[in-house]
Structure 1
Amino acid sequence: MRTYGTTPAVDSLLAESRRLVLAGDTNTALTALGRAQDLAPRNPEVLYQRGVLLSRTTFLRFGDVPRNFVAWRLLDRAAEIDPTNARYLLEIGRIRLLTPLLRAEAERVFRKALRVAEGNQDNPLIAEITWELGQIKERRYLTAKDRYMVTIAGLIFEPELAMYRRGYTREFLESNSRPIANIGATDRTEAEDLYRRGLAAVPTYEPSAIGLLGLLYDQRRYEEMRRVVQPFLDAGSGGANLRLAAGLAAYRLNDATAADSLFESGLRRFPEAERVEMTNLGRILRRRDSVSYDALSAADRRLTDSSYWEAADPLIETPENEARLEFLARIAAAQLRFTSGDLRQTGWRTDRGLILARYGEPPVIATFASDNAADAAETAGRITTVWYYPRKDRQFVFSGPPAMNYAIFAGPMRGLAEESREDAPFLLDNVIALRAIDSVSVQLSRFRGATDSTSQLVVAHAVDPRRLYGNVDLAEGSLFTSLYIGRPLNMRQVRRDTISVSLPASSMLSRTFVQGVPAGPLRVRVESTDANVSSAVARAHVELDIARARRDILELSDVMIAERVTSTDEPRAGWQSAGIVPRGDLTMTQREPFSVYWETYGLRPTPDQRFKAEVSFKVTLVEIDRANKQGAIRYLLDVADLVGLTREGNEELTVRFTREVPAGTTDRLPMVNTIGLGTSPAGLYRLDVIVTDLVSGQSARSARFFRVARS
């Protein structure tokens, strides 16, 4: 065995350099290796260690070219001295990768290294080399995938026009370009084969597993992803990114329980600081909310996180939080597809990772080849990548060098991302399973309770079984409805009901829950599900504040919109005793009259013990339904004058009347009236009720929004 001038002094310097590297002192380590080279200029291990340290402490920038050249010379010399050591060739190839023009040369060197490693049956080196070759092929595939060809000569996709011209992206993709089928497939297949060769050599070589997982994910081969990660999970191994990828595969296979466990397992494997930053809500909040969030203490931020995800959870009935799972799946996808060790790039920190976290994976991705025309400065020598979300006509454009898996916002797109953040900081509309949720119509009404610090909360809700059950071939459904109420982080199920639904259904299903609640901030959740029908899932989530009663001022309860009441008797004992049925669905058809119930508190009695008050109704057309055939009409027409409503202006109706009743034993005065809007146009309306105490002169107001639909 040749020693190449190895001496105790050289061995000592090599050991010292390794210790210094572990301590983070690379400059002193390089000095020690320089001294070792002076003592043994033909020692390949010294040349290798010095060359590797130089190359590993450089970046892809012009100023590092001389340093890379020295590293290459050292490693090339080591390979000449000991041509049977594939590791020297491997590092030469890695240096070649740092220079874009030498990537073809890098591939040639890697293949030479692979032949040497296979001749030596050096499985660990085979795994490393095939991974590097797989990376080259995968980068070429990523550069070519999703490629569109412009069909008009001389035309280019312009990021600025995408930002400022409405419909530009949709029109360009539909009319001025077309996708190229199967481009990049050969490179993808070769990359997959190379990653599998690496895993065959070393089944626990994680870089090859992650590379393979990324390719399988692009092709939606989720079951195969599971098979790739299973040996790692069985052995209790696998780092943070591999476990996130495993969770991503489980999530795409609708195995929410496994996905939740794997995501949490992956997050625990990150350093705490990175884990906190990765799951930070600031990136999916509006800027002003993000600033407030970042100013919180660590403890308050954790409470805010828990409160946010509790509110976002589509269904408390299920053990997993589907909204948070989708967020973590987006983080995992960004880590899997945009992370680059060569570029020191972490996937979720990239511009694409940011947009992915906020809006999910785009339904349409289009890449355009670089254009070297003089007027194409923005895209010259760069790949343009367009992410398009058709549902909201939302697009983001990125650009980056070919074969690098690196892209940043193109042109003014960073500004557009900030504008979109204010409009929609976090959307789940890309998740088909979640689109139907939040479909319970609900009306919440607060009335005074037995004490000043409690209230009676009336939760009227309605669901549309026609939408929930669709074309389900059943004669009857069983809809389970739950009411959850509580402080943030403390919602509890307080009511539940099961409704038998005759199918096919022809009308809305309505129910009312009544619950005593304390003063303070409150969350209210209504969930309706049928365990036997996957589409029968609906919910409503409302946050409100229950105020303490005040005895020193005039106050009104919420305005409750109810089914039409035929009796004219005053409901002195409350809405329930008067047979009032609150509406969960606050959409009325034209010509459909409805009743309005509210309670007035704090009226002052006259000397002869009577309450005297002036009541004003005001109905305002807030937004006309433009789909209405009478879309040009902006007037409230043909009022059903059940309480004397008169038109004041084009978009407002008012009525005033005086109410005088015996004072009774409390200062609570329930009131009910019935109104109708005749053939007034379909749209959104606001009903204001204003009560003025004719004794004290005080006034109070309460309002309710409702809709009128076309008959």
Structure 2
Amino acid sequence: MKLLHFKISSFLSSITYSFVVLVITQGIIQAQPDLKDDDASNFSADIMRAKSESEIPTAEAKSLFNLAQENISLNTVHSRKLAREYLQKAILLEPENIEFRLCYASLLEKYFPVSAYSEYENILQIDSTCIEAIYKLALRSESEFNEWKFSQKKFDDGIYFDLSDEALSDFRKAEYYYKKIISYQPLHYDALMHLSFLYEDSNVPEKSIPLLETLLKAFPDDKDVHLYLGLLYYKDNQIQKAHKEFQEALILMQPEERKDFTYNTVIELLSPVLSEKIKNFSQPELENLISSFWKLNEPLFLTEYNERLLEHYSRVAYANLRYSVPAENKQGWKTDRGEMHIRYGDPHKIVRLRPGVDWSVVKLKTEIWHYEEFTLGFVDKFSTNKYAFSSPPKFNERYQSQFGDDTFFFVESLRKISPQKYEPVFEGPPLDIPVDVTQFLSLSANNKTDVYFSYKLEHSDSQECVQYQSGIFFFDLFMNPIYQKKNDFKFSAGDFNDGREKNSLVKSSLMTVKPDSGNISFEILRTDDGAAFSNQGRFKVRKFNRDVLEMSDIVLAETVESADPDQLPIIRENLGIKPNPELSFSSTVPLFIYYETYNLELGDDGMNNIEQTILLKRSEDETGGDDLIAPIIKMFQTDEKQIALISNFQTRERNPQIYFQLDMNGYQSGKYELEIKIKDLFSGNEVFRKKEFFWNQ
């Protein structure tokens, strides 16, 4: 098949020997006595000669076949040898008996694969429609494709020779054989299943999915069809369909397998963080911990499913599909490669270095996984596809990994520092939406805070009407819900006109809650195509004291109006505010400043007395040699770092609303920090708030 592989196989089959090498470990050959492989490779010539001989009664051939089957069932070295002899004699008597030949080829598979698959090809010469022979050849080609698709040969001078192109011929053979089976039996379960796997491994899910959809119609209660269809849907970003299939698969699973997906694999994820503490948890406590873990990692609460949980299901399904060790009855997620796949997902590159010999050193088959932040190595010590974490060789050790670092040691730390990696995957593309959050003393409820999430939507000229859904989800630190609000809204092309930019619209969502600390998620979902935005993190709702001087957050706005305020995103009593969530202003985008002060003392005349100080300076990461070379209004006091505007004014309100426009024409472009200080001249108390923004000259 491959030049190197062919030479090795031909060399072994040409030697007359009475031992079959199974594995080489620590320089000791472990072997089992069996028949000579040249008997198998030369057997076709014997069969052809038998055609010219006189016929022997069929009953004798059938008796030999029965004796062979009895010896195969005993499964000893001697019984296999006898079975092979009986089958050879039976086939000599009936050269075109497909049943005899299939049994003979199957017996050869484990120890003489080259001869076995040659025999399957011989069977197709007799009967080109023999499904079992075609299927065996398809499996062989698929296995070879998966073995060679990432392969490279490393030479002593450090040069790598890419062998992955060699896998292309195996892919084409496997595809041909599976398609041939399906042409004879359109609902052949294994052929459809494996052909879908073959396409998935070639990164063409659009070919994989229809095959499993066909199987699903024929086998609606098959757990594996639902499971792997869910996996393929997920990889193709059809998240809602993936959710449905995973749910069906979980229902159809046996309890132990379901527990692996929903419990055991999650405990594996959490165990490095919890360490020895996990032993002290009861079963209900662990289940609650798992539930909180999924809530904490859910990227989009607007959907009916948890995208992070679906990612986990897909990782477990793939690990079990690709990394299981059937000979040991070991599921893929329990292997070293499977564990890393469950924790960190698909590496962006895999390289498989072929084994070789360098003088007295045996270079073991090594697989290298490249992630953005780190690289992992796995070694297949005995060429049995049982990979383990790579470790440096011990002194004078002959059998060595081709990966230089100590993955076993590195992973011990990696699990604790970064137990998982996940980038959210949504049904549609990610939305890039600027958001600005501001907090005020609530206008409608005592002891509560008004929190505004202001955001800006962009609209494509090709979209006539767009359906959106927004959501605010606030939880305590243990992910118990405190506040939840969803809002559906629809816009047509005409609605996306804010007077300045043709295809944009600014909106705000309001959350009124008691002061608290917890986890927040502000989300936007474009329901037409599943495009999504999610802004999550720790959040503290401010507490506004009603007895001492307080100040709201600062809103940087494009306009503040008293006329028809209901048409603007933020309404504060009789004022309407249009915030600028991008926090970017210029000569064509005016900069208005809005804030509120609370609990000012009033004099005998019913008036307050306020000193307002506005400090404006370039942000630290923006300052240069001439920070503020610009025309400065005379009323500003300046130094090398900042500009200050101090003013005094009086109003009749204890909680006045204050707004004004800041003219920055002539200022250098860059990032600025605005600080506003308020001093109550009656009480002497002071408060201040800061806000950063961008100015584009």
2:260 matched residue in structure 1 = 274
Name 1:703's counterpart in structure 2. Answer: 690
After TM superposition, list the pairs within 5 Å mapping 1:90-489 onto structure 2.
105=112, 108=115, 137-148=141-152, 154-156=156-158, 179-180=162-163, 182-189=165-172, 211-219=194-202, 220=204, 222-228=206-212, 230-231=214-215, 234-240=218-224, 242-252=225-235, 255-268=238-251, 269=253, 271=256, 272-277=258-263, 280=266, 283=269, 297-308=285-296, 310=298, 312-313=299-300, 316=302, 324-342=309-327, 344-353=329-338, 356-357=341-342, 360-370=345-355, 372-373=357-358, 380-387=363-370, 394=373, 396-401=375-380, 404=385, 406=387, 408=389, 410=403, 411-412=405-406, 425-428=420-423, 436-437=430-431, 439-449=432-442, 450-465=444-459, 469=460, 474=462, 477-488=464-475
8 Å CA contact 1:612, 1:658 repeated in 2: no
Equivalent residue of 1:668, what SS?
Answer: coil
Separation of aligned partners in 2, 1:455 and 1:607? 31
2:627 alignment partner in structure 1:
635
Q: Tell me if the contact between 2:151 and 2:351 (Cα under 8 Å) persists in the aligned partners.
A: yes
Deviations 1:365-395 (A, max 9, x none): 44443465589x8x9322343436xxxx555
Question: TM-score under structure 1 normalisation?
Answer: 0.64
RMSD, aligned α-carbons: 5.4
SS of 2:524's partner is strand
> d(CA) in 1 for partners of 2:243 and 2:523?
24
1:687 aligned onto 2:687: no
Give yes or no for contact 1:225–1:249 (8 Å, CA) kept in 2.
Answer: yes
Quick one: which amino acid aligns to residue 438 of structure 2? S
Give the C-alpha shift of residue 445 in structure 1. Answer: 1.8
| d(CA) in 2 for partners of 1:589, 1:446 | 25
Note the 1:569-608 alignment, pairs <5 A: 575=572, 577-589=574-586, 594-606=591-603
The whole-number CA distance in structure 2 between the counterparts of 1:286 and 1:434 is 33
| C-alpha distance in 2 between matches for 1:307 and 1:344 | 33
Q: 1:252 to 1:222 in 2, by over 3 A?
A: farther
After superposition, what is the alpha-carbon deviation per residue over 1:238-290, rounded to whole angstroms, capped at 9, x for unaligned? 345x532121233355544432121223344262431234662984x997699
* Residue equivalent to 1:28: none
Shift of 1:586: 1.5
The residue type equivalent to 2:690 in the other structure is: A
The partner residue of 2:506 within 502, 507, 510 is 510
**Structure 2 length-normalised TM:** 0.65
1:563 maps to 558
Structure 2 unaligned residues grouped into runs of 5+: 1-21, 35-70, 88-99, 391-402, 476-480, 563-569
CA deviation profile, 1:555-591 (whole Å, cap 9, x unmatched):
3222211125699xxxxx9845345432232122479
Alpha-carbon distance in 1 for matches of 2:193, 2:587: 60
Change (3 A) 1:632 1:454: closer
Corresponding residue for residue 657 of structure 1: 646
Inter-partner Cα distance in structure 2 for 1:326 and 1:510: 33
2:450–2:511 Cα contact (<8 Å) kept: yes
Question: Which whole-Å CA distance do the structure 2 matches of 1:515 and 1:698 have between them?
Answer: 29
The residue identity in structure 2 corresponding to 1:691 is I
Instruction: Deviation per CA, 1:576-622: give whole Å up to 9, x if none.
Output: 53454322321224796522222222334456654344444444544
1:630-655 Cα deviation digits (max 9, x unpaired)? x9667344276597363453xxx353
CA deviation after TM superposition for structure 1 residue 145, in Å? 0.8
Residue 60 (structure 2) aligns with: none
- Which residue is 1:628 aligned to? none
SS class of match (2:319): helix
- For residues 481-531 of structure 1, give each alpha carbon's deviation from its aligned partner in whole angstroms, at most 9, with x where no partner exists: 443234446633246352534899746422334454454457453526373
Instruction: Give the structure, 1 or 2, with the largest relative contact order (CA under 8 Å, sep 6 or more).
Output: 1
Q: Return the letter of the residue paired with 1:644.
A: F
Matched residue of 1:596: which SS? strand
Q: Alpha carbons of 1:130 and 1:349: their partners in 2 closer, same or farther (altered >3 Å)?
A: farther
Q: How does 1:49-128 map to 2 (within 5 A)?
A: 75-80=76-81, 105=112, 108=115
Query: Take 1:605 and 1:66, find their aligned partners in 2: how far apart are those partners?
Result: 96
- Cα distance, 1:369–1:216 mapped onto 2, change above 3 Å: same
> Distance between the aligned counterparts of 1:648 and 1:420, measured in 2?
49
Q: State how far apart, in whole Å, the 2-side matches of 1:463 and 1:134 are.
A: 52
Query: How many corresponding residue pairs?
Result: 582
Question: What letter corresponds to residue 233 of structure 2 in structure 1?
Answer: A
Shift of 1:329: 3.4
Aligned counterparts of 1:291 and 1:435: Cα–Cα separation in 2: 41
Q: CA deviation at 1:133?
A: 7.2
State which structure, 1 or 2, has the greater radius of gyration over its C-alpha atoms.
2
Classify the secondary structure of the residue corresponding to 1:496: strand
